[in-house]
Amino acid sequence: MRSAATRACRRSISGVRTMLELADVHCFYGAAHVIRGVSLKVQRGEVVALLGRNGMGKTTTMRSIMGLAPPQVKAGSIRWNDMSLLGLSAHEIAARGIAIVPQGRRLFPSLTVTEHLTMLKSPRASKGWTVARIFDLFPRLAERRHHRGGQLSGGERQMLAVARALMIDPELILMDEPSEGLAPVMVQHLEQIVLDLKREKLSILLVEQNLYSALATADRVYVMETGAIVREAPATALTQKPEQLLRYLGVQ
């Protein structure tokens, strides 16, 4: 059992608590070794971006955190508020305060905006975020509250995917490629939403192909290549290594 001194070491010098911690995580799809010793941390109220080219293991990392199978986590640890998440189902992890905004939104085309927001029966759901508060944050969704998921634009669907995640009143949101397929004006709107949530002291782990969108919101970044973390840096420092941007992200 960890001592109080050991637990205290999990706090940064500034006193900010580490909420999510992956340590030497290895994941497999069948016999394929996809994630190779990934270690990362997300602190309370922090936006962390996980960057890399397609196929580097970013979404697999998100799925492993959320307890979605595949992949299979065969080594390492995933801890949330110093408790292990390994072996828990996705709904058990969600009940502990972690929500996911999946790649592709994964909405129900036949359900209305309001139905998407009221379908969850989480014990956490009444603690903070309500439909009225969601509509204050997303006025466009208030206007479209009676429209079905299949009738929404790409930007509106992304707003709804984020709003649905908020309805479990999470402490951490995993966002997988939130800007994918959005017009530039909607990307900017999404960036502002992320910053608004950060001010609410929510922690966010963001997988993003759009480097400049990630840098607009993130405090720190991890860069992945072939299933491993190859660089960790403050977001403001990443652009100081243009040769690494080109190598790992294909950006000049």
pLDDT tens across 40-79, in order?
Answer: 999 999 999 999 888 899 999 999 999 998 899 999 999 9
Q: What's the predicted TM-score (pTM) here?
A: 0.86
Residues 6+ positions from 143 with CB-CB distance below 8 Å: none
Asked if pLDDT for residue 139 goes beyond 90, the answer is: yes
- Domains defined for the chain, CATH in brackets: 17-249 (3.40.50.300)
Number of H helices, E strands in the chain: 11, 10
Q: State how beta strands 83-84 and 72-80 pair.
A: antiparallel
pLDDT digits (tens, 9 = 90+) for 74-123: 999 999 999 999 999 999 999 999 999 988 778 999 999 999 999 876 55
The Cα 7–Cα 138 span in angstroms is 38
